[in-house]
Structure 1
Amino acid sequence: MHQHIHVNTLTLQKVARKKFDIPEMYKSPVIRKVKEATKVMDPMKKDLQPSVLDFGPVQFYVPRFFGFCYGVENAIDIAYRTVAEHPDKNIYLLSEMIHNPTVNEDLLDRGVKFLFDTDGTERIPISSLSSEDIVIVPAFGTTLEIQEELQKVGIDPYQYNTTCPFVEKVWKRGKQLGKKDYALVVHGKYQHEETRATFSHSADHSAVVVVLNPEEAKILAELMTGEKDASDFEKYFGHKSTPGFDPQKDLQRFGVINQTTMLATETQDVMDILKEAAISKFGESDILDHFADTTDTLCYATNENQSATLQLTQCDADLALVVGGYNSSNTMHLVEILEEHFPTFHVRDSEELISRAEIRHFNQWDKEIRTTIDWLPGGKEPLKIAITSGASCPDILVDEVMLKVLEYFENTRSVDEVIAPFEKELD
């Protein structure tokens, strides 16, 4: 079911060489040591077994990969350096730089202003800016339309561009296909900033349609093969496709690209569904003329984090905690994986842990913050907790959540004692 996802090796080598300057306040004394030690013990990234932090009455299972990814570290490095180097300039972010409230609130405290809300609602008109102002493009990228607006007021949208290189890779692959007259199917959440940006860049050269999940991919497949009436297209996809999109004509030649924070295995399912429909319509011998292989565009970090989370589901945890922003797509997918196996709580930070008896957490299906009573099982020691975080979550927030949990127990081992074996690996 959980197939291997191909990732470009050369791209990974380039990523491994890049080093970022991350503010000290986001670095953690506990999780950082675990991550550094596992890099030493497993330099080839072949072991997905979680680490165990044994505090006595509580044990935490920590996955092999989680937290800040390359694209987020790149964005934080550029944004904070820009703020530090230009104390006398007006600095704006197009919208949230990443989907983490701690990072965004800190940038606001430093005087950075947002031009748009995450849903695209305008806060400050671009037309009110001047060429002396600085605008930082967030990790999700932005649309061609907004790029043009910035250029009209004399601002170079690429001067302080923190767009994730893996998002840009998706755009470049889409453009290559567009030059060969391929349509594009985007697997993503249509209202998400990244998908809005990818749609805009793709629509510049191709017919484009967005599908949310495998269920929508099946509907699109049936429209492509003629099993569903063509008039149904407007109902399902009219609001998230380029004008005049015709599944039977435009999907004669197409490729699938994705919002990089989606479940990688789900993107593969979308690809497989649409490829099978193309084989059914055009025949297997000619499939390469109709369906482009785009698996090399899948984000390595998303794949690693999700694969490590799948491995985490094999442990004997009593519950799971996922730390990350409540509007973070990649964080919600980690929750989705874990909640099939354990009681799982998505918290933005340690303040959501009210007491041993009470926790506030986000339910993505009902899109509401809930309060759960008696969330920590009583009478069981050691209590085993799987813990992870989204790609935009600083490790220090995971430390703080763990330490908050430990406050509810007596006779726990010290942090120094627990991380000593990991520090030994670093000697």
Structure 2
Amino acid sequence: MSISLLKNEQFQLYKGPLLPLALILHTMKSFDVPLVYRSPLISAVKKKRKEKDRMKKDFSPTLLDFGPVRIFLARHFGFCYGVENAIDIAFRTIEENPGKRIYLLSEMIHNPQVNADLEASGVQFLQDNSGKQLIPFDSLTAEDIVLIPAFGTTLKIEKQLRDLGIPIEKYNTTCPFVEKVWNRSEVIARSNYTIIIHGKPTHEETRATFSHAASNAPSIVVKDMDQAIELGKYITGELPSEQFYTDFKHQVSAGFNLEKDLQRIGVVNQTTMLASDTQAIADYLKEIMMSHYGLDENNIKERFADTRDTLCYATNDNQTSVTGMLQTEADLAVVVGGYNSSNTSHLVELCEEKLPTYYINNEEKILSRDAIKHFNFHTTMELVTENYLPGKEPVNILVTSGASCPDALVEGVIKKLAGFYPASRSIEDLVDILNNQE
């Protein structure tokens, strides 16, 4: 058998309250995504896995056995609900509005191919990823269309666009799971909790979430566990209060009062962060509150809000799938996705802990059998590694991709790797086997 499903029951899906929403959304709506982003091979794999594992409990990889090279494909990868929703709205908007000026606030998603395709269709970007203005808002008119990207945007920008008479609701592609974080923040804000956001301070989604949270409650961004530990020392008074506003400069809401605004807290996240990191930060701060205020599990809600239901199902699935995939003995891993994609970089981070990992954005980065150009997200530089493929057969390669990466790019990478081995089975043969498999 050239294709098999590797069973391992220890990798279980997070069964928090978020799962029903994910299932409801997937049941209610399908998306019209351009065929150029689809892949016959990946579609066949995902269809077969869904048939065999409808409850999404098996996180072991799929083996694509080409003979001299064996590809172990993560259980979940590629376009998530929010990305497909954004792409559907964007290309439908272009099709339905010929001759109109169409703008995007910034990149629709963090994938260079998708954004290049949108630009080729006439869409112009108003800002870059850091929020720098490329086209002034005052050049827009009420007749123009402005697409809100999947990351969402700030309340200030929403108001600017509305004041220009631009109907942003119709063209808002904000991911519903990002909006879920905003809604949950609003709910706990009503109970006088301060909002702590685990995220990258300059990321579009974090800037948007911070804006929405800060409109309802004192808010602060922590970028990692080190900053969470530092914040804990301000809660307990171990660090002087005057240092706080320097350490968290540009990461706290206006008027933040250290003495009173850290007495009741809740933790939410940028949905593309490592779910395990967010949970670890929340657990750490919860312990700080329990110890500092003499609380236990029965009364911790007096000081700490339960926000576990804000973890994104797709981020969790993709990360858990990498954990499952890494249980397989392999020679290397290849992760495909945009180099500014937060969720993709975290998949790379997980793989790097176990084996040589190559982060690429398309098959062209695989220069030859002997050399690969890949991205080091720690230094934000590309480098070339030689002799990345071992001189043995079969070679075992783990493959996954980020939530904004088209399946067609993953197939392209697999096809190129298999092409270095003349005795390999063809992609078409594997698709036929999958489609005819009982």
TM-score range, shorter chain: over 0.9
Instruction: Quote the Cα distance in structure 2 between the aligned partners of 1:238 and 1:53.
Output: 49
Instruction: Quote the Cα distance in structure 2 between the aligned partners of 1:278 and 1:219.
Output: 14
- Give the TM-score normalised by structure 1: 0.97
Please state if 1:413 is matched with 2:425.
yes
8 Å Cα contact 2:75-2:321 kept in structure 1: yes
Q: Secondary structure at the match of 1:284?
A: coil
Equivalent of residue 57 in structure 2, options 46, 50, 67: 46
Instruction: Give the match for residue 272 of structure 2.
Output: 261
Cα deviation per residue 1:125-169 (whole Å; 9 max; x = unaligned)?
111100000000000000011111101111022120000000000
Which amino acid in the other structure matches residue 35 of structure 1? K
TM-superposed CA distance for 1:230, in Å, is 1.6
Please state if 1:295 is matched with 2:288.
no
8 Å Cα contact 2:13-2:56 kept in structure 1: no
Please state if 1:85 is matched with 2:96.
yes
Q: Secondary structure at the match of 1:239?
A: coil
8 Å Cα contact 1:225-1:248 kept in structure 2: no
Instruction: Give the match for residue 349 of structure 2.
Output: 336
Instruction: Quote the Cα distance in structure 1 between the aligned partners of 2:295 and 2:434.
Output: 52
Q: Secondary structure at the match of 1:398?
A: helix
Instruction: Give the match for residue 376 of structure 1.
Output: 389
Which amino acid in the other structure matches residue 6 of structure 1? G
Which amino acid in the other structure matches residue 156 of structure 1? P
Instruction: Give the match for residue 170 of structure 1.
Output: 181
Instruction: Quote the Cα distance in structure 1 between the aligned partners of 2:133 and 2:160.
Output: 13
Instruction: Give the match for residue 10 of structure 1.
Output: 20
Which amino acid in the other structure matches residue 358 of structure 1? A
Cα deviation per residue 1:363-412 (whole Å; 9 max; x = unaligned)?
0111111111111112x100000000000000000000111112211111
Which amino acid in the other structure matches residue 409 of structure 2? L
Q: Secondary structure at the match of 1:345?
A: strand
Instruction: Quote the Cα distance in structure 2 between the aligned partners of 1:49 and 1:376.
Output: 23
8 Å Cα contact 1:3-1:265 kept in structure 2: no
8 Å Cα contact 1:5-1:303 kept in structure 2: no
Instruction: Give the match for residue 304 of structure 1.
Output: 317
Instruction: Quote the Cα distance in structure 2 between the aligned partners of 1:271 and 1:401.
Output: 37
Q: Secondary structure at the match of 1:102?
A: helix
Segments of 5+ residues of structure 1 without an aligned counterpart are none
Instruction: Quote the Cα distance in structure 2 between the aligned partners of 1:3 and 1:393.
Output: 22
138-147 vs 214-223, which moves further? 214-223
Instruction: Quote the Cα distance in structure 2 between the aligned partners of 1:334 and 1:5.
Output: 21
Instruction: Give the match for residue 225 of structure 2.
Output: 214
Instruction: Give the match for residue 409 of structure 2.
Output: 397
Equivalent of residue 154 in structure 1, options 140, 165, 173: 165
Segments of 5+ residues of structure 2 without an aligned counterpart are 1-10
8 Å Cα contact 2:26-2:81 kept in structure 1: no
TM-superposed CA distance for 1:2, in Å, is 10
Q: Secondary structure at the match of 2:383?
A: strand
TM-superposed CA distance for 1:7, in Å, is 4.0
TM-superposed CA distance for 1:68, in Å, is 0.4
TM-superposed CA distance for 1:247, in Å, is 3.6
Instruction: Give the match for residue 423 of structure 1.
Output: 435
Instruction: Quote the Cα distance in structure 2 between the aligned partners of 1:67 and 1:7.
Output: 23
Which amino acid in the other structure matches residue 130 of structure 1? T
Does the C-alpha gap of structure 1 residues 82 and 3 become closer, same or farther in structure 2, counting only changes over 3 Å?
A: closer
Instruction: Give the match for residue 68 of structure 1.
Output: 79
TM-superposed CA distance for 1:9, in Å, is 3.5
Instruction: Give the match for residue 369 of structure 2.
Output: 356
Instruction: Quote the Cα distance in structure 2 between the aligned partners of 1:236 and 1:19.
Output: 45
8 Å Cα contact 1:7-1:298 kept in structure 2: no
Instruction: Give the match for residue 5 of structure 2.
Output: none
Please state if 1:276 is matched with 2:287.
yes
Instruction: Give the match for residue 339 of structure 2.
Output: 326
Does the C-alpha gap of structure 1 residues 29 and 392 become closer, same or farther in structure 2, counting only changes over 3 Å?
A: same
TM-superposed CA distance for 1:414, in Å, is 1.8
Which amino acid in the other structure matches residue 313 of structure 2? Y
160-169 vs 29-38, which moves further? 29-38
Instruction: Quote the Cα distance in structure 2 between the aligned partners of 1:33 and 1:59.
Output: 17
Please state if 1:196 is matched with 2:207.
yes
Q: Secondary structure at the match of 1:15?
A: helix
Q: RMSD of the TM alignment (CA)?
A: 1.5
Q: Secondary structure at the match of 2:241?
A: coil
414-423 vs 248-257, which moves further? 414-423
Identity %: 50
8 Å Cα contact 1:7-1:299 kept in structure 2: no
8 Å Cα contact 1:323-1:347 kept in structure 2: yes
Q: Secondary structure at the match of 1:159?
A: helix
How many residues are matched? 425
Please state if 1:97 is matched with 2:136.
no
302-311 vs 402-411, which moves further? 402-411
6-15 vs 96-105, which moves further? 6-15
Which amino acid in the other structure matches residue 320 of structure 2? S
Instruction: Quote the Cα distance in structure 1 between the aligned partners of 2:390 and 2:213.
Output: 49
Instruction: Quote the Cα distance in structure 1 between the aligned partners of 2:125 and 2:255.
Output: 34
Instruction: Give the match for residue 111 of structure 1.
Output: 122
Instruction: Give the match for residue 144 of structure 1.
Output: 155
- Give the TM-score normalised by structure 2: 0.94
